[in-house]
Amino acid sequence: MCTGNILLNISLTRSIPTSLYNKNSVSLICVPNPPIDSKQDSVKPVCMVIRVKTAEMAQELLKQLSDNKK
């Protein structure tokens, strides 16, 4: 159902909160590597929102993220 690629350089662990952000977006809180802003603390968690076309795709993405957490 999902098509396309996302490149997000994070370790996907069970401790990373993931949830639906709205009907067609999934949010997760993580520490990006490399940092988004090199002038700020690189270990500060940030909220990432991944937007997809449909609510069904958002549900599938959330399921895939949850199923692949280590």
Query: What is the distance between the terminal CA atoms of the chain, rounded to a whole angstrom?
Result: 23
Res 3: pLDDT: 63
pTM over 0.85: no
Report, as ranges of residue numbers, the positions in the chain whose pLDDT lies below 50.
none
Is 41 exposed, middle or buried (CB count within 10 Å of its CB: 0-12, 13-18, 19+)? exposed
Domains, the chain, with CATH or none: 18-67 (2.30.29.30)
Dihedrals φ, ψ of 34, to 5°? -75, 160
Res 19: pLDDT: 96
pLDDT tens-digit map of 33-49: 777 777 776 677 889 89
